[in-house]
Every structure is written in C-alpha cells, then in structure tokens.
A = this chain, B = another copy of it.
C-alpha cells in the first residue's frame, strides 16, 4: 500500500508574516485581527491566505488555537500548557499559569479510558477593569 506522505510545508513570506503577527501581540487575535496586523507590512495578502496559514501553523504546533464561548477561533503563540481568563464584557484574554496537577490529568484519563492529548481550562467572568465600569448584567 502506498505511503502517502503529507505535503512538505514550504516557507513563504506570507506564512512567516502570519506567524510573526501572532507572536507580536499577546491579545490572542482572531483571523481578522491577524489579517489587519499583517497587512501593515504586506498590503496585498488575502484573508484566505491568513486563514490557511493560521490552520497550517496550528497543525505544525507553532500556534495554538483557542476559543471561548460565543467567540470565534483565536490564536495564541504561547504553545506551552497554560490556562485562560476570558472577560465576558471586553472579550480580552489573560494567560494564566498551568494550575492543573498532572495527577488530575492522569485520573481523568483513567476515568475516560481515552487518551488525553490536550485540555483547555478557561475561566469566565468580569476582569477587574470591567467589574468597575460595567453593570453586572453586561
């Protein structure tokens, strides 16, 4: 049976620019925001190219896809395990250190009889800034 090799990803200026754009901010940008960032230096790049490269870079493990309730996919250049706080008012995201003990992961793996490849631990609430300036019902 034929060994179908995966396509070897070439390095293009667009791909590098997309990666650099995500790495340059700590806002966990979505595709549209990455598009805006990249266009500053590369005005002809298309949105489709941004989408394609974001997926590809995530597959390669150079970026991490994250998503919060009711929001679109966002991208994170911090690929080491960590957690997030998402403000439901301003939609900003804060990175938090990993707090989930390895023992909890293993226990869950035993309970599910599945293999855990990654996890997402997302906290939702109001950030300190929005807590002051927003009514609690948003």
Q: Give residues in A with beta carbon < 8 Å to B.
A: 65-67, 69-70, 73, 83, 85, 87-88, 94, 96, 99-100, 104, 107-108, 111-128, 131
Contact = CB atoms under 8 A, between A and B. Distances in A.
A67 to B, nearest CB: 6
A119 B116 contact: no
Contact of A123 (B70, B88, B108, B126): B108
Contacts of A111: 96
Given A73-B70, A108-B99, A120-B69, A126 B115 contact: yes
A115 B96 contact: no
Contact of A114 (B100, B115, B117, B125): B125
